[in-house]
Amino acid sequence: MGQTKKKKKINWTAWLFIGPNYIGFIVFILIPVVFSLIVSFTDFNIFKGLSGMRFVGFDNIKEMFSDVWFTSAVKNNLLFILGTIPVLIMVSMVVATILNNKVYLKNTMRAIVFLPYISSVVAISVVWMKLYNPSKGQINQLLMWFGMDNPPSWLASTTWALPALMLVGIWMGLGYNIVVYMAGLQTIDRALYESAQIDGANGVQMFRHITVPMLSSTTFFLMITNIIGSFQTFGTVNIMTDGGPGKASTVIAQYIYVAGFRYHKMGYAAAMAWVLLIFIFCITLFQWKLQKRYENNF
């Protein structure tokens, strides 16, 4: 009897401690999330307020699939993921392995690769826009110097705008991926490398047969966070191309913004945001399943 009383007291104190955070979560996250779900079934226009809201059922979802802007955005987003994530994972794993060993100026190099991750997206976008300028940009000047007559016009080309944005995405994400991989590398038992060395394995073999498999859980983690991050690509696209030329570089997050804030169709924008959430959720579930199977094979 006394036991339960005591328990209740402890719970009360615990609630008080998590209270502030909980209230913050409810007010700033839970209520808006639930509200956005409700809104996604209406034609809510933020300026008209709640009184002007009409329930439209699944019309927003139906409209999405006949909306060329949305379908292009989804297509571009998938291309963006296919183009950036494998490169990110491979390059960051190799660079992390190199930086983890004894290299000259190790700390400086670490700082340099991490810098883009903490820099302002706006500043990065403006600098890359200058680099990508078709006639005066340093990238094309260099290509012309190497003898290329007609270098791509990058952001102003329907073919090259998306790859150009991918490159910026990769460059921005490298730092974070490398740091996470370096943390993962710390957990690998040195003894494995030593015994491999005694067996006569060279650096490449050790990387292939020890580093890569031992880092698999880190890789899965990074895959998930990178895919989620790619689906949320917004800043660079918004500043550098605004989804253009034509619809060549429209991505989902940017189109949600345009629909919500430029066309004032908040209900439609919320519905797209929820479709995006379901997308990401499914992909994450699929990856978890894969990971479980992969780990069971070990």
Partner 1 sequence: MKKVLSVLMVCFMIGSFLVGCGEKEKKNPSTENNSGEASTSNKDDKDPVKLIVWGGVPGESGPQDLVDAWNASHPEIQVEYVRFVNDDTGNTKLDTAILSGEQIDLFFTYGVDLMKKRVDSGMLENLDTDEITAFIKEHIAGEGDGMVRIDGGLYAIPTVREPYGIMLNKGMLDEAGITIPDNWTVEEFMDIAKQLTTEKDGKKVYGASIVIQGGLPLDISQAVLGGDHFYKASGDESNFDDETFKANAKLKELMDAGAAMPYEEVFSRKLDTYAHPAYLGSEIAMTHFSAWMLRYVKDLENYPHDFVTTFATFPTTEKGVANNYQAFLNNFICMNSKSAHKEEAMAFMKYWLTEGSKYMYKAGKMSVWKEADPEEATKAILGDNAEQLFDVEAYKKVMFNPDSQYIIDTVTVAYPQLLEVYKEESEMYFLNNTTLEEYLSNTKKRADQEIKKALK
* Residue ranges in contact with partner 1 by CB under 8 A: 13, 16-17, 19-20, 23-24, 27, 45-49, 52, 63, 68, 129, 132-135, 137, 153-158, 242, 244-247, 261-264
Find, among 82, 110, 107, the residue nearest to 96 by Cα.
110
Least distance (Å) between residue 278 CB and partner 1: 24
What is the number of residues in the chain?
298
Find, among 275, 279, 261, 284, the residue nearest to 37 by Cα.
275
Least distance (Å) between residue 154 CB and partner 1: 7
> With respect to partner 1, which residue has the nearer C-beta, 156 or 179?
156
User: Distance between CA atoms of 138 and 131, rounded to whole angstroms?
Assistant: 5
> With respect to partner 1, which residue has the nearer C-beta, 84 or 241?
241
Within a 10 A sphere around the Cβ of 182, how many other Cβ atoms? 17
> With respect to partner 1, which residue has the nearer C-beta, 24 or 86?
24
Least distance (Å) between residue 198 CB and partner 1: 56
> With respect to partner 1, which residue has the nearer C-beta, 223 or 259?
259
Least distance (Å) between residue 178 CB and partner 1: 31
> With respect to partner 1, which residue has the nearer C-beta, 45 or 225?
45
Find, among 199, 219, 231, the residue nearest to 94 by Cα.
219
What CA–CA distances, in Å, run from 274 to 59, 80, 233, 250?
Answer: 14, 20, 16, 18
Least distance (Å) between residue 122 CB and partner 1: 11
